[in-house]
A and B are shown apart, each in its own frame.
Chain A
Amino acid sequence: MTTVAAGPDQAGRFGAFGGRLAPEALMAALEELTRAYEAARADPAFQADLAALHRDYTGRPTLLTEVPGFAAHAGGARVFLKREDMAHTGSHKINNVLGQALLAKRMGKRRLIAETGAGQHGVATATAAALLGLECVVYMGEEDTRRQALNVARMRMLGADVVPVTVGSRTLKDAINESFRDWVATVQTTHYCIGSVMGPHPFPMMVRDFQRVIGVEAREQILAAAGRLPDAVIACVGGGSNAIGIFHAFIGDPSVRLIGCEAGGEGLPTGRHAATLAGGSPGVIHGMRTYLLQDDEGQTLPTHSISAGLDYPGVGPEHAWLRDAGRAEYRAITDDEAMAAFSVLCRTEGIIPAIESAHALAGALQVGPGLGREAVLVVNLSGRGDKDVDIAARYFGHLGDGASGPVAAGGAAGAAAVSTQHGHPAGAGR
């Protein structure tokens, strides 16, 4: 397993995955970025600047919170949440963005561009740009600008230019295409601040390194809180940055199961999902070789998830490698399973999770019972649910004006089932 933890190689390959399958116009910039990043990584001054920002601005280390009320629904195992929802801007995305924004300044770039799905990465990028005095343009699929209107407003308040993408499927993958189209024309002055562990080398490695802090903290915190390593670390996977972030420090601990929860949408058999590792096949997309959802002729398939942040047909190449090496396991969580877990956490712990993170919570509800009461689980709560209140309220039929979606009936039934057993079990400590 030490070889699995050591990737990628000089060409950016994680086993058979990764690499740099990019247009020639970007190759020089990617090489420049690799050199600049490697120099920054080895520079104590850069690392000190980033650590200071994380301490004084992001609010790191984030908490590790034990959630016994939630755990009662997961077979009684001890469950701990890594509270990335408490990081500034409301998700783990800020970890990566501050690193890349500092690097962009160091490279003399004055403009940041970013793609965003749920809007969390766009908000984080707009935030870092405001803080560090950089211009910011965020590309967002038109469909996502509707699903996540609140985050569009947040980005604009922070001074970013939000560009709705109206081509293709109008979701995250098209926002990525449009970001590459911008970058290829502006690369001398612009840094493309990719939001996940994807894209051509060095992005999967660099973003992983910037997110690695999650697992480094969590490993130390769980040893202090539980006195031992966890049996499983669970995270949601879209592109996979929060999952790699929390997994990486545990890769060398063979007793720790690493479980990634992908967006199962309406279920794998329906084809309406975004479960790349569970339902995809190897190929090339967005500059990397990885698993993707494609048809028999290599055309990217449309994806579906209730969560905009997981609605992506590819996945970071390091996850593809961890899967094929058997070091991590990936499962598909349906929209309904995620929303049921969302509701359990709200009602038992007073924490509203992002719908993305609710997929990881659902994973804990599924694997917990099989691990028994002595088990210890760490779940990455990658973001908070403020941005999802409208979607969740429609799903559960909480709006009270009849404005509920077609799934409201099933969702409300799920919520009712949960509400009969909410609250902490007697004697559960924190």
Chain B
Amino acid sequence: MTAAGATGPATVSGAFARAAAQRRAALVGYLPAGFPSVTGAIAAARAMAAAGADVVEIGLPYSDPLMDGPVIQEAVHRALAGGVRVADVLRTVEEVSAAGVPVLVMTYWNPVERYGVAAFARDLAAAGGRGLITPDLPPEEAGPWLATAAERGLDAVFLVAPSSPEERIKLICSSCRGFVYAASVMGITGARARVSDAAAGLVARVRQHTGLPVAVGLGVSSGGQAAEVASFADGVIVGSAFVRRLLDAPDEAAGERAVAALAAELAAGVRQPAGS
């Protein structure tokens, strides 16, 4: 977990390239800042990275998370009730980045717009953050963010969906930097019993338009599912299953251990040879 060092700070593209060189998929793990506490989230995210997450997404808690299912809703609701602020999110980014793992912030758009796009990019970069994933900002509305991201060398990750027509996939791929986030199903975040049939087809469609890595998210929660997704995608994104571990834990230390155990299981999953 120390891509940093002589080669400079860890980057998202570096993490994907290293996974590809090892003929495996990258593991991308999500946790919201501020849950179960600011320090608890930092410890859990660092444990996730130490146990095998190649890229960490830190969620910026938002009052109206309309793409999230009940698990993430509950965690961000508690984080906000606990008084989490953007400054806490940036501190989380800084302390998790310091562990040598590239960190992206996953955020709904209004908090960034309110903070100021240029100011947010400046402070994110200063904290060591590598970019943003923006689930409710389509590229058509992202002009100021894309300009700032290019200026700061930050990644801009947009989502494609199974319903995205060809011309939108093309537009999104041309706007993305870092990787392309393929939403495996039509729906909100949350664990699902099986990986969607739509995911592999969507990844194939995306590959026709970009050489960027393609990571699949929504619904992956086990090592077996991670292995399945790893057979056709460059990255496996897991969020709700990690958050579930923290929600179910009796205390922060137990939550940290449970997150690490899941990360290890998923990291083994993304290393299983395809078809095994």
Give the B-binding residues of A (Cβ under 8 A): 11, 19-25, 27-29, 167-168, 173-174, 176-177, 180-181, 184-188, 283-287, 292, 294, 296-300
Contacts and interface: CB of A to CB of B under 8 A. Distances in A.
Contact of A23 (B67, B85, B168): B67
Contact of B165 (A28, A176, A186): A28
Contact of B168 (A11, A27, A284, A297): A27
Contacts of B113: 283-284, 298
A284 B110 contact: yes
Contacts of A185: 185-188
B85 A297 contact: yes
A293 to B, nearest CB: 11
Nearest to A282: B113
Given A21-B109, A24-B172, A167-B70, A184 B186 contact: yes
Nearest to A177: B66
A33 to B, nearest CB: 13
Nearest to A29: B163
Interface in B93-111: 109-111
A20 B70 contact: no
Given A21-B141, A27-B138, A297-B114, A184 B70 contact: no
Given A21-B141, A22-B136, 17 more contacts: A11-B140, A21-B109, A21-B136, A21-B138, A24-B161, A25-B159, A25-B161, A25-B163, A25-B183, A29-B163, A168-B64, A174-B64, A184-B188, A283-B110, A284-B110, A297-B85, A299-B63
Contacts of B63: 168, 299-300
A21 B186 contact: no
Interface string B156-174: 0011111111001000100
B14 interface: no
Contact of A297 (B115, B186, B187): B115
Given A23-B67, A299-B111, A181 B188 contact: yes
A184 B66 CA distance: 10
B50 interface: no
Given A168-B77, A283-B114, A297-B115, A187 B186 contact: yes
B138 A22 contact: yes
Contacts of A167: 70, 73, 77
B234 to A, nearest CB: 19
Contacts of B67: 23, 181, 184
Contacts of A29: 163
Contacts of A19: 141
Contacts of B186: 25, 184-188
Given A21-B136, A180-B66, A184-B188, A27 B141 contact: no
Contacts of A299: 62-63, 80, 111
A134 B96 CA distance: 50
Nearest to B185: A185
Contacts of A184: 67, 186-188
A223 to B, nearest CB: 42
13 contacts: A23-B67, A23-B135, A23-B136, A23-B161, A24-B160, A25-B183, A184-B67, A283-B114, A285-B64, A298-B110, A298-B112, A299-B111, A300-B63
A27 B164 contact: yes
A174 B63 CA distance: 10
A396 B242 CA distance: 52
A21 B138 CA distance: 6
Nearest to B187: A185
A173 B64 contact: yes
Given A167-B77, A168-B63, A168-B64, A296 B138 contact: no
A286 B110 CA distance: 10
A297 B61 CA distance: 11
3 nearest A-B pairs in the assembled complex, by CB-CB distance: A298-B114, A185-B187, A25-B161
**Counting chain B CB atoms within 10 Å of each CB, which of A11, A19, A27, A28 scores highest?**
A27
Contacts of B114: 283, 294, 296-298
B86 interface: yes
Contacts of B111: 297-299
B137 interface: yes
Nearest to A179: B66
**Counting chain A CB atoms within 10 Å of each CB, which of B77, B163, B168 scores highest?**
B163
Contact of A20 (B69, B140, B159): B140
A25 B160 CA distance: 7
B100 to A, nearest CB: 29
B138 A297 contact: no
A21 B161 contact: no
A184 B189 CA distance: 11
B138 A24 contact: yes
A283 to B, nearest CB: 5
B275 to A, nearest CB: 30
Contacts of B69: 181
Contacts of A187: 163, 186
B67 to A, nearest CB: 5
